[in-house]
Amino acid sequence: MDQQHLCINAGTGEVTATNVSSSLPSLSGILGTLFILRVTFEQDNVPVALPTNSTGKLIMKLLGHESGPPVLLDTSWTVAGSNTQTSYTFSLLADSEPLRTALSNSAAIALTAQIEWQITSELPYPRKSLAFPITLRNSPSRPGDTAPDQAADAAWAWIKARLVAGSNVTFTLNEETKTITINSAGGASNPTVTWSNVTGKPTSFPTSWNEVTGKPSTFPPSGHNHAWSQINSGSPSDNAALVAFVQSNGASGQMFDLLIPLQLSSQTSYDSLQSSSIFVLPRDAVITHIGLAMRNATPRMADNFFQSNIIVYGTDAPNSSSPGGLYAQSFWFYEYFPNSDAKGLGIPLLANGALTMPSGSKLDVHLNTGFPDAYNTLPTFNGLWLRVRGRYTN
């Protein structure tokens, strides 16, 4: 006789057992064993199924402590069947520390149980059954019990039959009290279980990333190299195209700073009006600095002065066939040296303000050193550069 089957009125919450003569349920369990309860629902004496995705909860509390925490709790059920044949099964281990304390000096106690079920459309308010009792025994019926429980005695026989002889853990069975003691002598060893005998094991370990513990929050890469063939996007040719685009079409305000070699060999006298321009602007620009740089400049021996005459021509595009146009500056330059030792020399040619020049404009430099007059030695240098600095405006 299946004594673990309840029927609940879905409208009133009234609870009945379908297979006992009493209108009250007659349910029982044994401490430390699996408690299984199958539930069906009816309305107007007609079996019904709850709406899809309805959830259930079985709550058991100590008698007289209905406002306290549960001593046994199952927060989900298993649904089987369909339509009017649908049933909902709870399955939980009948064991907890409060239960063991309550049963320590008793053969059995009564628990107050209740079933809650939640219909999705009625969230967050669950429906509840009326409270019903469940008898929980400390062990199967013993000789002194006034009402032996045949089902509990059958469970005792089932437990004894499945204690594996020859395992590393040994047991002592007490038929009088119907209790089982695990001997400490066998506690140091563990039986070997093959992987194929493990049931319900996951297919991957762990089953989700969130279950991995102790993982770092970031994964900083260490320095390493990659071949271009391993890079999914971008290549040296892409980079060259980008450089060419910036050079030709860069945003307004792009800075430039150029050092243009004019003469690298030793000179004792230098007179150079460039027949082909030494510098041509590729885009409209504002020039903020023009200067000459000399290497190993030495002064006149008579008075340690370095003397030069410099003319800078800026030609106006597109009329750039001859000097003139936007800019022309001519001046004498004198620099006193503390001695006759050679040193590097910088000569600023655009000291104040800025010079606006359109695309295609050119710069030329005419430089004279060495006007002997009454001096027997000439200023000399070994290496000459023009420095041009500014920004493009388109």
Residues 85-99 have a mean pLDDT of 92
Cα–Cα distance between 81 and 22 in angstroms, integer?
A: 27
Cα–Cα distance between 261 and 283 in angstroms, integer?
A: 21
Residue 2 pLDDT = 47
Residue 108 pLDDT = 84
pLDDT level of residue 144 (50, 70, 90 thresholds): low
Residue 222 to residues 214, 219, 225, Cα–Cα distance (Å): 21, 9, 10
Max mean pLDDT among 155-169, 188-202, 353-367 falls in 353-367
pLDDT level of residue 221 (50, 70, 90 thresholds): confident
pLDDT level of residue 174 (50, 70, 90 thresholds): confident
Read off the pLDDT of residues 318-343 as tens digits, 9 standing for 90 and up. Answer: 554 455 454 556 677 888 899 989 99
Cα–Cα distance between 56 and 126 in angstroms, integer?
A: 9
CATH 2.60.120 in the chain is located at: 251-392
Q: Average pLDDT of the chain?
A: 78
**What is the CATH T-level fold of the domain 251-392, as seen in this structure?**
Jelly Rolls (2.60.120)
Read off the pLDDT of residues 302-320 as tens digits, 9 standing for 90 and up. Answer: 888 888 888 777 776 555 4
CB half-sphere exposure, 123, CA atoms < 13 A: 6
Residue 127 to residues 54, 65, 350, Cα–Cα distance (Å): 11, 21, 92
When comparing pLDDT for 369 and 135, which is higher? 135
pLDDT at 187 > cutoff 50? no
Lowest mean pLDDT: which of 110-119, 171-180, 208-217?
171-180
Residue 162 pLDDT = 64
Read off the pLDDT of residues 253-307 as tens digits, 9 standing for 90 and up. Answer: 788 898 888 876 655 555 544 445 577 888 888 888 888 888 888 888 888 888 8
pLDDT at 191 > cutoff 70? no
Q: Which CATH class is domain 5-142?
A: mainly beta
When comparing pLDDT for 96 and 147, which is higher? 96
pTM, two decimals, is 0.42
Cα–Cα distance between 247 and 224 in angstroms, integer?
A: 31
**8 Å CB contact between 305 and 334:** yes
C-alpha dihedral sign at 331, 336, 337, 339: positive
CATH 2.60.40.10 in the chain is located at: 5-142
